[in-house]
Amino acid sequence: MSASVTHRAIDAVWRIESAKLIATLTRVTGDVGVAEDLAQDALVAALEQWPAQGVPDNPGAWLTTIAKRKAIDLIRRDKMSEGKHAEVGHELQAAQDEGPDYDSAIDDPVGDDLLRLVFIACHPILAREARVSLTLRLLGGLTTDEIARAFLVPEPTIAQRIVRAKKTLADARIPFDVPRGVRLKERLASVLEVIYLVFNEGYSATSGDDWVRPALCEDALRLGRVVAELMPQEPEVHGLVALMELQASRLRTRTDAEGNPILLNDQDRSRWDQLLIRRGFAALARAEALVAPAGPYVLQAAIAACHASARTAQETDWHQIHVLYDALVAVVPSPVVELNRAVAIGMARGPAVALRIVDGLMREPSLKSYHLLPAVRGDLLKKLGRVDEAREEFRRAAALATNERERGLLLARATG
């Protein structure tokens, strides 16, 4: 096997195994930064040895064995200071008269380490940007360069965010556990928000030259599916997965061959990914089967399901979407949700009704720089035959847009 092929194999293995490896090491060391360093040491060993020796039959086990040895060496050498050693003693210490049994402690699966790592990486003590970066680094297996390129941020900025995030977690002595009761609800909301943010940036990039970044959607979907299997009784988890599956089914129809945006009503629905749609419906059914008031992700998934069910744009059940948006705005009232609700009302009851709602939102401070507000208003004005006013709104929307492809689309609408 050539070195280049081996390196591609190592990269693939790392994407699959790194999160589980870091999770196990975090349980043992109590420090996510130390755990990642140890996992990286195992990766370096693979890069050094596999090109000459070949990829092992069980590469994940190989990496775990190497990382385990390095963790034991670190603990035995440094003792992690007396206080630190005492903290992890219940994991690393065997019978007192026999000395600590490090191998048994590391091999012992105490709960679900991967789920614990999810809650650590998405801890609300961290700023939103830090949570996103750390999650993609630890759970997505992405390099700082890949994260920086995905979000169009300088690599040193991402590196600093990750370093500071790990230091913040270590300094705050965040326990490596899954919260319970009210704390679980609070922390789970943060986990889902991070995954949702990653997906949305892939589905509709906020800036740059590309309107969609499918790789980010894939990363978010993978993380969402993992959390759904780890927390099968949480309806909002399944709701988020359903939403992402259904939205992702349209990805290949959202742009033309040159990368220009194609709006929903103009997409070739025969090219929507039917496998993802079926997966989305199945996830939504799992969410709805769990008796609980529908949360924001379940409601958004139900809206996406209305679109996925329509064979043509004309068959879309906008009245049902209107009803679902009424429920959504009651659960998570916000100007953005209200704007989306206005779009649904415009389709269900006519543009004049929707325009009154949108005009009211024009005074909303939080939407002052939101390009979709004038874009929606322009669309409604155009439908009402007020073409000159509509063009002015599209020009305003284009001036506010930070994504080049979307700006081009809005300028085209302003002159069309």
State which H helix or E strand residue 193 sits in. Answer: helix 181-203
Dist. CA 385–CA 145, nearest whole Å: 48
State which H helix or E strand residue 161 sits in. Answer: helix 155-171
Dist. CA 276–CA 259, nearest whole Å: 22
Domain ranges of the chain: 3-102
CA dihedral 141→143→147→153, nearest 10 degrees, is 160
Q: Would you say residue 109 has pLDDT above 80?
A: no
Q: What are residue 235's phi and psi, to 5 degrees?
A: -60, -35
Per residue in 199-258, pLDDT tens?
999 999 888 888 998 989 999 999 999 999 989 999 999 999 999 999 999 999 999 999
CB 108 within 8 A of CB 76: no
For Cα atoms 364, 366, 371, give the angle at the middle one, nearest 5 degrees: 95
Q: Note the CATH number of domain 3-102.
A: 1.10.1740
- Dihedral class, residue 268 (left if φ above 0, else alpha if ψ from -120 to 50, else beta): beta
300 to 24, 58, 227, 316: CA distances (angstroms): 34, 40, 18, 15
DSSP 8-state secondary structure symbol assigned to residue 72: H
Render 307-359 in DSSP notation, one character per residue: HHH-SSGGG--HHHHHHHHHHHHHHS--HHHHHHHHHHHHHHH-HHHHHHHHH
Q: Using alpha carbons, select from 406, 357, 363 the residue that is nearest to residue 377.
A: 357
Structure token digits, residue 45: 């060993």
Average pLDDT, stretch 350-364? Answer: 97
Average pLDDT, stretch 45-63? Answer: 89
State which H helix or E strand residue 396 sits in. Answer: helix 387-400
Dist. CA 414–CA 408, nearest whole Å: 10
State which H helix or E strand residue 230 sits in. Answer: helix 214-230
Residue 322 identity (one-letter amino acid): H
- 330 or 182, greater pLDDT: 330
Dist. CA 65–CA 68, nearest whole Å: 5
Dist. CA 84–CA 101, nearest whole Å: 17
Per-residue confidence at 87, pLDDT binned at 50, 70, 90? low
Spell out the residues 6+ positions from residue 249 whose beta carbon is closer than 8 angstroms to its own: 272, 273, 274, 276, 277, 280, 308
Q: How many Cα atoms are found within 13 Å in the side-chain-facing hemisphere of 297? A: 30
Dist. CA 75–CA 90, nearest whole Å: 14
Mapped onto helix, strand or coil, the DSSP state of residue 255 is strand
CB 132 within 8 A of CB 138: no
CB 294 within 8 A of CB 303: no
Provide the β-strand partners of residue 255: 261
**Tokens 């790789």 map to which residue?**
215
Per residue in 361-399, pLDDT tens?
999 999 999 999 999 999 999 999 999 999 999 999 999
Question: What percentage of the chain exceeds 70 in pLDDT?
Answer: 91
* pLDDT reported for residue 288: 96
Structure token digits, residue 52: 């000459």
Mapped onto helix, strand or coil, the DSSP state of residue 97 is coil
Per residue in 271-286, pLDDT tens?
999 999 999 999 999 9
Per-residue confidence at 1, pLDDT binned at 50, 70, 90? low
Q: Would you say residue 94 has pLDDT above 60?
A: no
Per-residue confidence at 30, pLDDT binned at 50, 70, 90? confident
Average pLDDT, stretch 104-108? Answer: 48
Dist. CA 55–CA 12, nearest whole Å: 12
